[in-house]
Amino acid sequence: MKVHLKTLGCRLNEAELETWAQAFQKSGHAITKKAETAQLIVINSCAVTQDAARKSRQLIRRIHRDNPQAKLVVSGCYATLNQEEAGALLGVDLVVSNKDKDQLVEKTLSELNMDTMPTMATDPGETSLFTRGRQRAFIKVQDGCRYRCTFCIVTVARGEEASRAIQTVVNEINELHQQGITEAILTGVHLGGYGSDLGINLSDLIKAILAETDIPRLRLGSLEPWELPDDFFELFHNPRLMPHLHLPLQSGSDTVLRRMARRCKTEEFSAIVQQLRAKIPHFNITTDIIVGFPGETEQEWQDSFNFIKQTGFGHIHIFTYSRREGTKAANLPEQIPEDTKKQRSRQLHELANNMKLQFFKDNLGQEFPVLWEGYSIAQDDGSQQVFGYTPNYLRVSGIIEAGVSVENKTLKVKLSELGEDYIIANMSYN
Please state, rounded to an integer, the average pLDDT across all residues of the chain.
90
Amino acid 117: pLDDT: 38
- Tell whether 215 and 288 lie within a shared domain: no
- Tell whether 248 and 196 lie within a shared domain: no
List helix spans (H) across 280-337: 298-311
CATH number at residue 339: 3.30.750.200
CB under 8 Å to 325, separation ≥6 — which residues? 50
Highest-scoring range by mean pLDDT, 16-25, 53-62, 346-355 = 346-355
CATH number at residue 88: 3.40.50.12160
pLDDT at 429 exceeding the cut of 90: no
Edge to edge, the sheet with strand 284-291 lists 244-246, 284-291, 315-320
- Tell whether 293 and 184 lie within a shared domain: no
Q: How far apart are alpha carbons 420 and 360 in whole angstroms?
A: 11
pLDDT at 124 exceeding the cut of 50: no
Q: How far apart are alpha carbons 260 and 263 in whole angstroms?
A: 9
- Tell whether 94 and 107 lie within a shared domain: yes
**Average pLDDT of 333-340?**
94
- Of the candidate ranges 116-130, 142-156, 219-233, 286-300, the one whose mean pLDDT is the lowest: 116-130
Cα angle 219-221-223, degrees, rounded to a multiple of 5: 120
Question: Alpha carbon of 28 to those of 20, 121, 350: distances in Å?
Answer: 13, 4, 51
Strand 40-45 with 284-291, pairing = unpaired
Amino acid 115: pLDDT: 52
- Domain membership of residue 15 (yes or no) is yes
**Average pLDDT of 208-234?**
95
**Domain hosting residue 198, numbered range:** 132-227
pLDDT band (50, 70, 90) for residue 172:
very high
pLDDT at 405 exceeding the cut of 60: yes
Q: How far apart are alpha carbons 202 and 229 in whole angstroms?
A: 7
- Tell whether 137 and 84 lie within a shared domain: no
Amino acid 112: pLDDT: 87
- Domain membership of residue 119 (yes or no) is no
- Tell whether 100 and 178 lie within a shared domain: no
378 sits in which H/E element: strand 367-378
52 sits in which H/E element: helix 50-66
pLDDT digits (tens, 9 = 90+) for 126-163: 344 444 456 888 999 999 999 999 999 887 788 889 99
CB under 8 Å to 144, separation ≥6 — which residues? 155, 158, 159, 160, 161, 162, 189, 190
pLDDT at 56 exceeding the cut of 60: yes
Amino acid 133: pLDDT: 55
Percentage above 70 pLDDT, the chain: 95
pLDDT at 316 exceeding the cut of 50: yes
423 sits in which H/E element: strand 423-426
- Domain membership of residue 65 (yes or no) is yes
Amino acid 211: pLDDT: 98
Task: Tell me if 394 sits within 8 A of 361, measured CB to CB.
Answer: no
Amino acid 116: pLDDT: 46
- Tell whether 105 and 138 lie within a shared domain: no
Q: Which residue has the higher pLDDT, 83 or 49?
A: 83
Q: How far apart are alpha carbons 19 and 85 in whole angstroms?
A: 26
Q: How far apart are alpha carbons 292 and 298 in whole angstroms?
A: 10
What domain count does the chain have? 4
pLDDT at 366 exceeding the cut of 70: yes
Sign of CA dihedral 274, 278, 279, 282: positive
Of the residues 324, 346, 362, which one is the last residue of a structural domain? 362
Task: Tell me if 299 sits within 8 A of 269, measured CB to CB.
Answer: no
Question: Alpha carbon of 180 to those of 15, 126, 217: distances in Å?
Answer: 17, 11, 12
Amino acid 430: pLDDT: 54
- Tell whether 52 and 105 lie within a shared domain: yes
pLDDT band (50, 70, 90) for residue 33:
confident
**pTM for the model:** 0.83
Percentage above 90 pLDDT, the chain: 67
pLDDT digits (tens, 9 = 90+) for 230-285: 899 999 999 999 999 999 999 999 999 999 999 999 999 999 999 999 989 899 99
- Tell whether 105 and 9 lie within a shared domain: yes
pLDDT at 367 exceeding the cut of 50: yes
Amino acid 132: pLDDT: 45
Within 10 angstroms of residue 66's Cβ, the number of other Cβ atoms is: 11
- Domain membership of residue 232 (yes or no) is no
